[in-house]
Amino acid sequence: MTTNDQRLNALFAQYRDACPEVEGSPEFMPVLWRRIEKRGSVAYLLPRLARLACAASAVICLVLAALVSLPGLAAPRSTASAATYADALSADHSAEKTYYTESIRATDNLVPADYSR
């Protein structure tokens, strides 16, 4: 440790002694308890909760606005929504095909042995 380091340490010690002692007023405890009771009261908590709710809703609004406005984050447009309902119906035959195929197969199974000859 250098001499200047030691001098600085001594200076800090002197500084501590030079700082005035603070005793606090006789009203310290009564005022403290009044503040504790006020802090616990609804009158104190309600405005704080309201401010908190406002801040939370503002944050949610900002996040939603960002999600909507950013092109990359927006939900991709489905190709189906671009076409008309009729187009979509005509394009989708899978259900009908399945129905007819299944019924034909079912009918084949029901044919009696004599008729199949």
Partner 1 sequence: MLVEPELIERARQGDAGAFNQMVAAYRKRILGTISRLIGRPEDVEDVAQEVFVRLYYSLDQLRTPEVFEPWLYRLSVNACYDYLRRLRRRGEYRMADLSEQQVLMADSSASGKRSDEDAEKVRLREFVDALFRHVSEEDRLLLTLKEVEGLSLKELEKVYRVNENALKVRLFRARQRVLKAFQAAREDGKL
Binding region for partner 1 (CB under 8 A):
4-5, 7-9, 11-12, 14-16, 18-25, 28-29, 31-32, 35-36, 39-40
The CB-of-3 to partner 1 minimum distance in angstroms stands at: 10
If you write DSSP's letter for every residue of 7-74 in order, what string do you get?
A: HHHHHHHHHHHHSPP----TTHHHHHHHHHHHHHSHHHHHHHHHHHHHHHHHHHHHHHHHHHH-TTTS
Name the one residue in this structure whose structure tokens are 């034909």: 104
Whose Cβ is closer to partner 1: residue 14's or residue 101's?
14
Whose Cβ is closer to partner 1: residue 28's or residue 99's?
28
The contacts found for 98-103 with CB under 8 angstroms, 24 or more apart, are none
Residue 116 DSSP one-character state? T
The CB-of-70 to partner 1 minimum distance in angstroms stands at: 33
CA separation for the pair 47, 103 (Å, rounded) = 70
Whose Cβ is closer to partner 1: residue 2's or residue 69's?
2
Whose Cβ is closer to partner 1: residue 31's or residue 65's?
31
